[in-house]
């Protein structure tokens, strides 16, 4: 079933929903206690805040677009045969949140079987909303975004992370750090995949790569990088990355090198 969507109008509404959820996160952080945390997997945490945030978002999105299904991190809702689906991370950067450390954010994307349609990421600590829609560009609080023009790796600020699947990823992580350390302008880990990718779209970071992440981590921000003139692929260089869990996002100039480094040490089981 096909449905007609006004993506600009939908995006504006989703910005409001994401901001409301982000404000909830920030308010709850004032009284948050670590006793509320549950370990889903080794070093992978969840709390009542994640779950309550997701329920708020799912309820609001269901009212906004009843025809859409859901792909959510905390399994509040699931997709079946709907024409399009919301992809929701109610709290990206949970470990940061638990330790009262910025950044953390809310990430919401809309996609169909073929492509990403819109993306919104709201970061309450700096009160920044990143958003965009297919063919409409990427923005931060009304300002048009564009990726950086850095083309020399020695000047680049590159971001990577150490995912929870350390047994499969340790070799890849060592290789990336060994090859990047001392050769790039700087290496960072910020603890939020969604926000790090948004920073690539905004030109704050020049490249980012990580494996063993979920659709909810990267979908919204990946669209923003594309709309900001950057490039997004999986570790193999495939531009159809939406069903995978290893992603590279860059300004485009640095993509061949990051792709080469990732390919030299692909994680086991990939």
| Nearest one of 126, 108, 23, 2 to 64, comparing CA atoms | 108
What is the rounded distance in angstroms from the CA atom of residue 55 to the CA atom of residue 91? 12
Tokens (6 digits) for 87:
């992809």
Tokens (6 digits) for 79:
């997709």
Which sign does the torsion angle of CA 206, 212, 214, 217 carry?
Answer: negative
Q: Kindly report the CATH number that applies to the domain delimited by 153-264.
A: 3.40.190.80
The more confidently predicted of residues 267 and 77 is 267
What pLDDT is stored for residue 164 in this prediction?
A: 75
Residue with tokens 């905004």: 202
What is the rounded distance in angstroms from the CA atom of residue 131 to the CA atom of residue 223? 9
pTM reported for the whole predicted model: 0.92
What pLDDT is stored for residue 36 in this prediction?
A: 61
Helical ranges in the chain per DSSP H: 7-29, 48-64, 94-98, 166-180, 193-201, 215-227, 255-264
User: pLDDT-derived band of residue 124, with 50, 70 and 90 as boundaries?
Assistant: very high
Between helices 193-201 and 215-227, what is the axis angle to 10°? Answer: 0
What pLDDT is stored for residue 135 in this prediction?
A: 97
What pLDDT is stored for residue 150 in this prediction?
A: 98
Is pLDDT of 261 > 60? yes
User: pLDDT-derived band of residue 4, with 50, 70 and 90 as boundaries?
Assistant: confident
Is pLDDT of 139 > 70? yes
Do 89 and 217 form a contact (C-beta atoms < 8 A)? yes
The mean pLDDT value for 83-101 works out to 92
Rg of the chain (C-alpha set): 18
The more confidently predicted of residues 39 and 118 is 118
Q: Kindly report the CATH number that applies to the domain delimited by 7-144.
A: 3.30.540.10
The more confidently predicted of residues 70 and 48 is 70
The mean pLDDT value for 197-220 works out to 96
Average pLDDT for the chain: 90
User: pLDDT-derived band of residue 43, with 50, 70 and 90 as boundaries?
Assistant: very low
Do 21 and 106 form a contact (C-beta atoms < 8 A)? yes
Per-domain boundaries in the chain: 7-144, 153-264
The proportion of the chain whose per-residue pLDDT surpasses 90, expressed as a percent, equals: 72
- Over residues 163-205, the pLDDT tens digits come to 877 788 888 889 999 999 999 999 999 999 999 999 999 999 9
User: pLDDT-derived band of residue 41, with 50, 70 and 90 as boundaries?
Assistant: very low
């Amino acid at each position: 079933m096909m449905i007609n969507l006004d993506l600009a109008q939908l995006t504006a509404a989703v910005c409001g929903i994401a901001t409301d959820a982000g404000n909830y996160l920030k308010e709850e952080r004032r009284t948050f206690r670590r006793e509320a945390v549950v370990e889903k997997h080794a070093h992978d945490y969840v709390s009542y805040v994640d779950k309550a945030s997701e329920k708020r978002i799912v309820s609001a999105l269901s009212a906004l677009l009843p025809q859409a299904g859901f792909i959510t991190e905390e399994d509040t809702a699931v997709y079946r045969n709907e024409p399009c689906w919301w992809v929701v991370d109610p709290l990206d950067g949970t470990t940061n949140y638990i330790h009262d450390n910025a950044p953390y954010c809310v990430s919401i994307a809309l996609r169909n079987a073929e492509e990403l349609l819109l993306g919104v990421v709201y970061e309450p600590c700096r009160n920044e909303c990143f958003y965009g829609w297919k063919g409409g560009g990427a923005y931060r609080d009304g300002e048009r975004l564009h990726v950086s023009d850095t083309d020399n790796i020695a000047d680049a600020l590159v971001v990577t992370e150490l995912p929870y699947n350390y047994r499969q990823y340790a070799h890849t992580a060592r290789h990336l750090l060994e090859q990047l350390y001392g050769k790039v302008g700087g290496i960072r880990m910020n603890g939020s995949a969604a926000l790090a990718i948004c920073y690539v779209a905004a030109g704050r970071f020049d490249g980012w790569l990580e494996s063993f992440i979920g659709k909810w981590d990267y979908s919204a921000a990946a669209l923003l990088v594309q709309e900001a003139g950057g490039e997004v692929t999986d570790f193999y260089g495939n531009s159809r990355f939406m069903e995978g869990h290893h992603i590279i996002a860059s300004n485009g100039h640095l993509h061949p090198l990051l792709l080469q480094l990732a390919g030299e040490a692909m994680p086991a089981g990939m």
